[in-house]
């Protein structure tokens, strides 16, 4: 669209920390803003501004900008909450003639302190995988974190990792290791082969992070040794905590389902050897949104299941 008029008045700063849940005050303000914008009630919109915002964008200027937006884009048909970033909420905003991104910032009095409308360049959210996925290991492993509730899965509070799995191996007595468990080699999962769950392209490889001493975390690079695989449909399979120098694939390499990736390790923010696996909608972890992963065929507690997403406590294996 030529000569697109963009409204950029942002007096507040915000951090990169984000949340997947929309707060009620942002929902109320954004809903009211949309209604007033569509009715061209510019006085009422400006009345929602903070004192500083009023000074930066007085009614005369806002009326001009609002009219320009409406003449080119039309009315706002709907908004979809994407994420919360400190004092700001970001929305996918569908106008009659275009889809833009809108960021609204509020102060403690729920006055608008910042308003940013610009082209929407975010990758679309993925609810679940459409690519068929196979378990990325052999033998029976235990899901220690997985599912949709906090009780099942502490990852749910992270936008990127909200549907992640942590998976390891336990023996018949419920132990994850033999002996005292003082070395990584004591753990049953350590050094186990991990495989590609689908066809795709390797878009990221990190292989130089040292494995931790069990019980000691590495907060510097949280995922540790990492592989990200991009599928043909734009899903990104994220593997974390590989054993140092065990990864056998390279960035840019095309791979097939079942191809060896590397060995399970204990690198990064990991207290003991295990596999962290999740899907996300883009490569960059700090900006991505997690998606739920369903595996095509697997055994769950000895029972064959199809198109199933494991939860905490499931013993899973390939059929």
* pLDDT(13) > 70: no
191/296 same-domain check: yes
Whether 77 is covered by a domain: the verdict is yes
Give the CATH number, domain containing residue 37: 3.10.450.50
Q: Same domain for 99 and 48?
A: yes
157 and 301 inside one domain? yes
Q: Is residue 136 part of a domain?
A: no
* CATH code: domain of residue 250: 2.70.70.10
User: What average pLDDT score do residues 249-277 get?
Assistant: 97
- Which residue, 87, 119, 151, sits at the end of a domain? 119
pTM: 0.65
What's the number of domains the chain is made of?
2
Mean pLDDT of 17-44: 88
Encoded tokens for 34 = 């949309």
User: By C-alpha distance, which of 171, 165, 53 is closest to 107?
Assistant: 53
**Which segments of the chain are extended strands (E)?**
8-10, 18-19, 76-85, 88-95, 99-106, 112-119, 141-145, 165-168, 193-195, 200-206, 225-230, 236-242, 254-255, 260-263, 275-280, 290-291, 295-300, 303-308, 315-317
- 108 domain residue, yes or no: yes
Task: Work out the mean pLDDT of the chain and round it to a whole number.
Answer: 90
CA–CA distance, 217 with 213 (Å, rounded to integer): 8
Token pair listed for 133: 């996925």
Give the range of the structural domain holding residue 145, as residue numbers without chain letter: 141-317
Domain check: are 262 and 229 in the same one? yes
Based on the domain organization, do 85 and 147 belong to the same domain? Answer: no
The answer to whether residue 272 is domain-embedded is yes
Residue 16: is its pLDDT beyond 80?
A: no
Q: 102 and 120 in contact (C-beta within 8 Å)?
A: no
pLDDT at 1 over 80: no
Band (pLDDT 50/70/90 cuts) for residue 83 is: confident
Identify whether residues 230 and 103 lie together within a single domain: no
- Per-residue confidence (pLDDT) for residue 14, from 0 to 100: 36
Task: Tell me the pLDDT tens digit for each residue of 111-152.
Answer: 999 998 888 766 667 899 999 999 999 999 999 999 999 999
pLDDT of residue 30: 96
Query: What pLDDT shows up at residue 20?
Result: 59
- Examine the domain organization and report whether 173 and 288 are in the same domain: yes
Same domain as 150, residue 227: yes
pLDDT of residue 123: 63
- What confidence score (pLDDT) does residue 251 get? 95
* Beta strands across the sheet bearing 76-85: 8-10, 112-119, 99-106, 88-95, 76-85, 18-19
300 and 187, same structural domain? yes
At 22 the pLDDT is 86
């Amino acid at each position: 669209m030529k000569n697109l008029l963009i409204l950029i008045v942002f007096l507040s700063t915000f951090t990169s920390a984000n949340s997947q849940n929309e707060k009620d005050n942002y929902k109320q303000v954004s809903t009211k803003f949309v209604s007033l914008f569509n009715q061209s009630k510019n006085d009422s919109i400006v009345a929602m501004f903070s004192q500083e915002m009023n000074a930066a964008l007085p009614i005369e200027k806002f009326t001009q900008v609002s009219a320009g937006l409406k003449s080119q884009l039309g009315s706002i048909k709907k908004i979809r909450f994407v994420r919360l970033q400190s004092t700001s909420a970001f929305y996918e905003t569908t106008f009659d003639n275009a889809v833009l991104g809108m960021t609204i910032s509020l102060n403690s009095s729920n006055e608008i302190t910042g308003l940013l409308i610009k082209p929407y360049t975010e990758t679309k959210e993925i609810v679940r995988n459409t690519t068929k996925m196979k378990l990325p290991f052999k033998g029976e492993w235990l899901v220690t974190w997985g599912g949709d509730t906090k009780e099942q899965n502490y990852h749910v509070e992270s936008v990127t990792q909200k549907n992640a799995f942590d998976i390891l191996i336990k023996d018949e007595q419920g132990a994850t290791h033999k002996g005292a468990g003082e070395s990584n080699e004591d753990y049953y999962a350590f050094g186990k082969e991990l495989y590609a769950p689908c066809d795709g392209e390797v878009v990221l490889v990190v292989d130089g992070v040292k494995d931790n001493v069990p019980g000691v975390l590495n907060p510097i690079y949280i995922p540790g040794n990492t592989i990200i695989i991009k599928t043909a449909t734009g899903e990104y399979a994220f593997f974390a905590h590989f054993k140092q120098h065990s990864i056998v694939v390279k960035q840019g390499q095309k791979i097939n389902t079942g191809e060896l990736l590397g060995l399970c390790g204990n690198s990064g923010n990991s207290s003991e050897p295990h596999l962290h696996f999740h899907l996300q909608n883009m490569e960059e972890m700090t900006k991505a949104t997690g998606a739920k992963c369903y595996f095509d065929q697997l055994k769950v507690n000895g029972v064959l299941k199809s198109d199933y997403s494991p939860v905490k406590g499931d013993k899973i294996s390939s059929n």
